[in-house]
Amino acid sequence: MPARGNCWRAPRAISRATRSASRSNRCMTGPGADGSMTAMGQEDLWLDRVRLALGRRAALAGAPVPPAIAEPLTRLVHTDIGLAELFARRAADNAMLVSRVRGEELAGQVVAAVREAQCRRIGLSAGATLAKWDLLGSLRGEGFDARTWDQLTLQEAYELDCGVTDVSYAVAETGSLVIRPEANHGRALSLVPPVHMAIVEPAMIVGDLLDLFERLAREARGQNVVIVTGPSKTADIEMNLVTGVHGPGTVRVFLLE
């Protein structure tokens, strides 16, 4: 924002009515040694001016309630259809490698996929899903350096060739994996290694993002979530799309039957 000496001035886009309503506050000095205004002070002043332009004298007591919208206008996926089939199809459309497997086949399939990807160092989430199928023991039994999240430092996570995780949810409409960071499952497992393998149980599949956010709101854990919709991609250099630069270039999904 433009400044003259110690005087902060609102951008010209602010309406004339707003500027005249708060003319006495045009020049303000903050607590800095040089008299400059802090970022928080600038933000408060800006919000005050916008509020005045909207005809308000005080902040709202709470967030406005959005208007109700009929579900047929917002939902394209209904829970009475085959969510697992739709998720598998949409995930494949997102360039994920999807395999439908039975529980007794899972460990062998994961070992084969890790070997095919030529991975040596494997990190696994320490949740009940992976423990139920003894993926850690199966990988170690085949000679891989496999450790669970609670056995890794963050630096060691950056040295992994592959992260194997469960998921909190999966979204059928978008073919997305939803991972909630927890003590036994750090974000790095799905974001850092060049290969990410995810185990998805059918019960974790929801229809769409509306269903997902409703569930997350009910759980009210106050955490962030990671939503994975295909391999990592970037096009910030000359608009050339490149896969796997800032995260996994391969995402393989094992969908349990």
**How confident is the model over 4-41, as pLDDT tens digits?**
444 445 444 444 444 444 444 444 444 444 555 566 67
Task: Note the pLDDT of residue 237.
Answer: 77
pLDDT given for residue 10 in this prediction: 47
Q: How many residues does the chain have?
A: 257
Question: Does residue 96 register a pLDDT over 80?
Answer: yes
Question: Which of the given ranges, 59-63, 138-142, 240-244, has the highest pLDDT on average?
Answer: 138-142
Q: Please tell me the distance from the alpha carbon of residue 87 to that of residue 106, in angstroms, as a whole number.
A: 19
Percent pLDDT > 90 in the chain is 55
Task: Tell how many helices (H) and how many strands (E) occur in the chain.
Answer: 10, 14
**What is the rounded distance in angstroms from the CA atom of residue 128 to the CA atom of residue 185?**
11
> Which strands form 176-179's sheet, in the order they lie side by side?
205-206, 169-171, 176-179, 226-228
The pLDDT assigned to 14 comes to 44
Q: Which among 144, 221, 146, 132 is positioned nearest to 183, based on CA atoms? A: 221
Place of tokens 């630069």: 245
Whether the CB-CB separation of 54 and 17 falls below 8 Å is answered with no
Give the burial class of 53: count Cβ atoms within 10 A of its Cβ; 0-12 exposed, 13-18 middle, 19 or more buried.
middle
Does 209 have pLDDT greater than 50? yes
Query: What is d(CA 151, CA 193) in angstroms, rounded to the nearest whole number?
Result: 16
Q: What angle do CA 249, 250, 254 make, to 5 degrees?
A: 155
Task: Report whether 84 contacts 255 (CB < 8 A).
Answer: yes
Domains and CATH numbers, the chain: 13-65 (no CATH), 78-256 (3.40.50.10420)
Per the CB < 8 A criterion, the answer to whether 227 and 191 are in contact is: no
Instruction: Choose the weakest-confidence range: 29-33, 164-168, 211-215.
Output: 29-33
Better-predicted residue by pLDDT, 206 or 38: 206
Burial state string for 10-40 with b = 16 or more CB within 10 A and e = fewer than 16: beeebeeebbeebeeeeebeeeeeeebbeee
Q: Of 96, 124, 75, whose CA–CA distance to 229 is shortest?
A: 96
* Stronger pLDDT, 198 or 15, i.e. the higher one: 198
Residue 135: pLDDT above 50? yes
pLDDT exceeds 60 at position 71: yes
- At 70 the pLDDT is 74
The whole model's pTM is what? 0.71
